[in-house]
Amino acid sequence: MQDLKKRIVRSVVLICLCNVIITSVYADIAVIVHPTNNSVLDQKSIERIYMGKLKSFENGRSALPINASKGAATREEFNRLLMGRSDSQLTAFWSKLMFTGKGTPPMELATDQDILATVSANQDAIGYVDAASVTDTVKVVKIYNKGTSK
Amino acid sequence: MKYLQLVWLFVGCAFTFSSSAEIQISGYGSIIAGKTLGSVDDPINLGQRRDETFTADFYDVGQYTNDLSFNTESILSVQGVYALSSQFSVTTQVVAKGVDDFTPEVDWYYATYRPTEDWTFMAGRRNIPMYYYSEFSEVGYAYPWMRPPANLYWWQITQFNGVHAMYTFNWGDTSNTITSFYGNEYSDDNKEMGFYEVLFGGKDSTRVEENWTSIAGVNWNVSGSLSESVFYDVRFVYFQHELERINHIVDADNTMLLTSQKFFGFGGSVDIPNVTVLFDFNFVTRDDVLGTEYPTYLVSLVYHYDSFHPYISYSKADSKRTEGSLPTAELEEHYISSVGIRYDFLPNIAFKAQIDRFVDQGYVPDGWNYHGDARVVSAGIDFIF
């Protein structure tokens, strides 16, 4: 019986430690646009662009949102910090639009480097990457981390 | 109608072989098994017992009995979108349903023209935007339950050939889409109406023709947020149509029903942290001498815990006659109470399990309790690709 208690305590401690470690590796997310894009973008407008509900920037140009690929850590963080929804919830949202001809989900790119290259080359693009990956070829709108309130 | 299909097929093929066309293939499906749990007094053949029978799909008469069935609700659909330019595309959905022995049918085919970011025009065959979930009622991945409440989605016509004009705009902090639509549907041999004709002993009926014409209406969808973590999406709908029903009978004059219907609806969802509230209130009036009305509603709660989404729902369908020599509220009436869970175990696959209790409150002396009570369990997966 004592052994069982010890094992349970050890397991709980281990799980807590894992949580601490996992929490500590959450990436900071940098939302990025083309360097010439001077539009004011708050969290709400970024969310609406990624939900297909806002189709243009303040400067009048079309908005082309780019997602990281499914399962990417940055995508999970972006959904959690900015969208306030899980990836499954967002996939369900887009599936009803896709199969009724009323919308197309954001395009997906596999790596931060792909996203940086596309955003730096396209004045309409908006994307997000791990803040550590950012280069001076793009403009950072804002950096979000787990301390950023939704 | 067939002429229109042929023209569309030809156009579709031409686009398929066009070197400039960009083709996107996607799809959705469900593999679901279910069965009912007991027997009831047969409401039609009095004095006899029969399996509890639960109609999961009224339109295609997909029913569960005591025998475990994989065919009642399982479905596979492949969608092809042929983008000819940034403004013009054509779309096809080939759908194979277990209830039709998985015979592929081109259920959706329409052309889309987007001259600006705000305007979209569509022409072709699509679902009638009737209930909140009508347009994507077969895309199981898009909603939490096994199916939208079957006793609300009980109409014998769900699709039509027509045109849609869709305008999107922002109003304050809300996102809005207004869609107007117009079209017709001619169902020469209606499956649902034919099934019930036979059920009620119409042995001399060869087929029931159901035509909905001059279908005209408007949808207004509004979405936004009430706070940083409370989102809503609601939709108003109104449409009207002419209804013609012809029962073709062997060696006798055909019987005919001519009337028109008006459909009103308000439905949507509200997401608050960890909980989603879903609802749909609808009201159909028929312009007949009896003043027939069909009030229906759905209320559902979904709790979100990581990838698990347990839910409960309650849907009620009623019908009444408000005019004529004998107004009565005692006609067809039933409710379904359901409990279930959705588990998103992969990014594009969800497992679901659900228990439903169908309670038939139809007026017994006049045989309006013809569905009979039923308890059903079902489980399966919904996926998209």
Cα distance between residue B141 and residue A91, in whole Å: 8
* CB-CB under 8 Å, A96 with B142: yes
CA distance B374 to chain A (A): 30
- Closest residue in A to B228 (Cα) is A150
Identify from B22, B82, B141, B171 which residue to disrupt to test chain A contact, counting A C-beta atoms within 10 A and taking the largest count.
B141
**Which among A53, A89, A101 has CB closest to B91?**
A101
Top-confidence range, A4-13, B30-39, B357-366: B30-39
Tell the CATH topology of A27-144.
D-Maltodextrin-Binding Protein; domain 2 (3.40.190)
Q: What is the CA radius of gyration of chain B?
A: 21
Q: Does B348 touch chain A (CB under 8 A)?
A: yes
Neighbours of B142 (CB within 10 A): 24
C-alpha span between A143 and A28 (Å, rounded)? 7
- The better pLDDT of the pair A2, B13 is held by A2
**Nearest alpha carbon to residue A72 among A5, A127, A139:** A127
- CA distance to partner chain A, nearest, from residue B333 (Å): 30
The verdict on residue B3 lying in a domain is: no
Residue contact A56–B77, C-beta within 8 A: no
d(CA B298, CA B313): 7
User: What is the sign, positive or negative, of the torsion defined by CA atoms of B5, B107, B384, B134?
Assistant: positive
Note the pLDDT of residue B4: 45
| Residue B302 touches partner A, C-beta closer than 8 Å | no
Query: With 90 as the cut, is the pLDDT of residue A46 above it?
Result: yes
Residues of A with CB under 8 A from a CB of B: 44, 48, 51, 53-56, 62, 70-71, 84-89, 91-93, 95-96, 98-102, 149-150
Domain contains B32 = no
Distance CA B259, CA B242 (A): 6
Q: Does pLDDT of A25 surpass 60?
A: no
B residues 30-89 closer than 8 Å to A (CB) = 77, 79
Distance CA B281, CA B266 (A): 5
Q: What percent of chain B has pLDDT over 90?
A: 73
Which residue type sits at B213?
T
Taking the CA of residue B146 and the nearest CA in chain A, the distance in Å comes to 14
| pLDDT 10s digits, B87-117 | 999 999 999 999 999 999 999 999 999 999 8
**A17 pLDDT exceeds 50?**
no
C-alpha closest to that of B124 among B266, B277, B8: B8
Give me the number of domains chain B comprises.
Answer: 1
CB contact B228 to A (< 8 Å): yes
Q: Is residue B379 part of a domain?
A: yes
Residues of chain A positioned with their CB less than 8 A from the CB of B350: 88
pLDDT per position as a tens digit, B329-374? 778 899 999 999 999 998 899 999 999 999 999 888 877 888 899 9
pLDDT of residue A21: 42
Average pLDDT of every residue of chain B: 91
Instruction: Locate the DSSP E strands across B254-348.
Output: 255-272, 275-286, 292-303, 308-318, 320-321, 333-346
Alpha-carbon distances of A5 from A9, A15, A19, A95, B201, rounded to whole Å: 6, 15, 21, 47, 69
Residue keyed to tokens 């990624």 = A50
Best interface-test mutation with A: which of B28, B88, B93, B344 has the largest number of A CBs within 10 A? B344
- B259 domain residue, yes or no: yes
Residue A9: which pLDDT band, with cuts at 50, 70 and 90?
low
Answer whether residue B104 is part of any domain. no
Give the residue on B whose Cα is nearest the Cα of A70.
Answer: B347
Q: CB A84 to CB B228 under 8 A?
A: yes
Confidence of residue A4 (pLDDT cuts 50, 70, 90): low
Mutation test of the interface with chain A: which of B25, B94, B228, B385, choosing the one with the most A Cβ atoms within 10 A?
A: B228
CATH number of the domain bearing residue B213: 2.40.160.10
Place of tokens 């690929």: A69
pLDDT at A71: 87
The least confident of B6-15, B23-32, B216-225 is: B6-15
The model's pTM is 0.86
Interface test with B, best of A88, A90, A148 (most B CBs within 10 A): A88
B175 touches chain A (CB under 8 A): yes
CB atoms within 10 A of CB B366: 12
Q: Which domain holds residue B173?
A: 116-384
Question: Chain B residues with CB inside 8 Å of A85's CB?
Answer: 271
Instruction: Assign A20 a pLDDT band (cuts: 50, 70, 90).
Output: very low
- Residue B227 — very low, low, confident or very high, per pLDDT cuts 50/70/90? confident
> What is the predicted pLDDT for the residue at B43?
83
In Å, what is the CA distance from B102 to each residue of B92, B141, B187, B242? 17, 19, 20, 32
Q: Flag if B304 and A86 touch (Cβ within 8 Å).
A: yes
Query: Is residue B85 one of the residues assigned to a domain?
Result: no
Question: Of B254, B170, B259, B180, whose CA–CA distance to B216 is shortest?
Answer: B180
Checking if the pLDDT of B16 tops 70, the result is no
User: What number is the average pLDDT over the span B214-234?
Assistant: 93
Counted across chains A and B, CB pairs separated by less than 8 A come out at 74
Contact at 8 Å (CB) between B199 and B208?
A: no
pLDDT at B6: 41
A82-97 per-position pLDDT tens digit: 998 888 889 999 999 9
* Proportion of chain B above pLDDT 70, given as a percent: 94
The minimum CA-CA distance between A135 and chain B, rounded to whole Å, is 30
pLDDT digits (tens, 9 = 90+) for A110-119: 999 999 999 9
